[in-house]
């Protein structure tokens, strides 16, 4: 499968897999900015993407940024629909204690391309039972 990207900014970097077998491609910033502790920002990528029908792109945090700096994504995974043709942006938040400097070309997120199922929705009087039933929110133990 091929995913087309258009660079709309000279600092834009195409997403890329770092290692064979990786699920996510690294996504890079195309702007310099500082995220203060507790603040959130929309970081531009300088890219427009053309996803094939029946797929989505999921934006996910990078574990190294989260562990070392407290930087993560607010809406994770963030879904990008196949019909979207605007600039890709990544909403970062600084949960750390220090201001965090984003620089052009910095890897700020991971993007996973996944298939999407379209379903028919139907109202029923009752759903089927299961062994689990209504158990959730920690019902299987600590």
Residues of the chain above pLDDT 90, percent = 89
Per-residue pLDDT at 135: 81
Structure tokens at 52: 């094939």
Predicted confidence band at 131 (pLDDT cuts at 50, 70, 90)? Answer: confident
Rounded Cα gap, residues 5 and 42, in angstroms: 19
Judged against a pLDDT cut of 90, whether residue 141 lies above it is answered with no
Rounded Cα gap, residues 78 and 130, in angstroms: 31
Per-residue pLDDT at 132: 82
Judged against a pLDDT cut of 80, whether residue 34 lies above it is answered with yes
CATH topology of domain 4-115: Deoxyuridine 5'-Triphosphate Nucleotidohydrolase; Chain A (2.70.40)
Which residue carries 């491609």 as its tokens? 25
Domain spans, the chain:
4-115
């Amino acid at each position: 499968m091929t995913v087309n990207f258009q660079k709309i900014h000279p600092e834009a970097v195409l997403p890329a897999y770092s290692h064979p077998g990786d699920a996510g491609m690294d996504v890079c910033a195309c702007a310099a900015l500082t995220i203060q502790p507790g603040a959130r920002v929309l970081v531009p990528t300088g890219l427009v993407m053309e996803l094939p029908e029946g797929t989505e792109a999921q934006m996910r945090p990078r574990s190294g940024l989260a562990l070392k700096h407290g930087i993560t994504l607010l809406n994770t995974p963030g879904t990008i629909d196949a019909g979207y043709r605007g600039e890709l942006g990544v909403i970062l938040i600084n949960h750390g204690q220090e201001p965090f400097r984003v620089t052009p070309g910095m890897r700020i997120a991971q993007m996973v391309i996944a298939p999407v199922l379209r379903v028919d929705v139907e109202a029923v009087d009752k759903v089927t039972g299961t062994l689990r039933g209504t158990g959730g929110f920690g019902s299987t133990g600590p």
